[in-house]
Homo-oligomer: A and B are copies of this chain.
Amino acid sequence: MEFTVQQIAEVLGGTVEGDPTLGISSLAKIEEGQAGSLSFLSNAKYEQFLYTTQATAVIVARTLELRQPVRAALVRVDDPYSGFTKLLEFYAQATRTGKRGVEQPAYLGESSEIGPGHYRGAFSYIGENCRIGANVLIFPHAFIGDRVRIGEGSIIHAGAKIYADTVIGKYCVVKAGAVVGTDGFGFAPQADGSYKAIPQIGNVVLEDFVSIGANATVDCATMGSTTVRQGSKIDNLVQLAHNVEIGRNTVIAAQAGISGSSKVGDNCMIGGQAGLVGHIQLANKTTITAQSGVQKAVKDEGQVLQGSPAFNLRDSLRANSVFRRLPELLRRVDELEKAQNAPEKP
Show the binding face of A for B, using Cβ within 8 Å: 27-29, 32, 85, 88-89, 91-92, 95-96, 103, 105, 107, 121-123, 125, 139-141, 143, 145-147, 157-159, 161, 163-165, 173, 175-177, 179, 182-183, 185, 187, 193-195, 197-201, 209, 211, 213-215, 217, 219, 223-224, 231, 233, 235-237, 239, 241, 248-249, 251, 253-255, 257, 259, 266-267, 272-273, 275, 277, 290-291, 293, 308-309, 311, 315, 318-320, 322-327, 329-330, 332-333, 336-337, 339-340
Contact = CB atoms under 8 A, between A and B. Distances in A.
B183 A161 contact: no
A122 B140 CA distance: 13
A214 B183 CA distance: 9
Contacts of A139: 143
Number of this chain's copies in the complex:
3
Contacts of A326: 318-319, 322-323, 326
Contacts of A157: 161, 182
Interface SS majority for chain A: loop
A125 B125 contact: no
Nearest to A139: B143
B327 A336 contact: no
A139 to B, nearest CB: 7
A315 B323 CA distance: 10
Contact of A327 (B29, B248, B322): B322
Contacts of A291: 275, 291, 293, 308
A254 B103 CA distance: 36
A97 to B, nearest CB: 10
B329 A311 contact: no
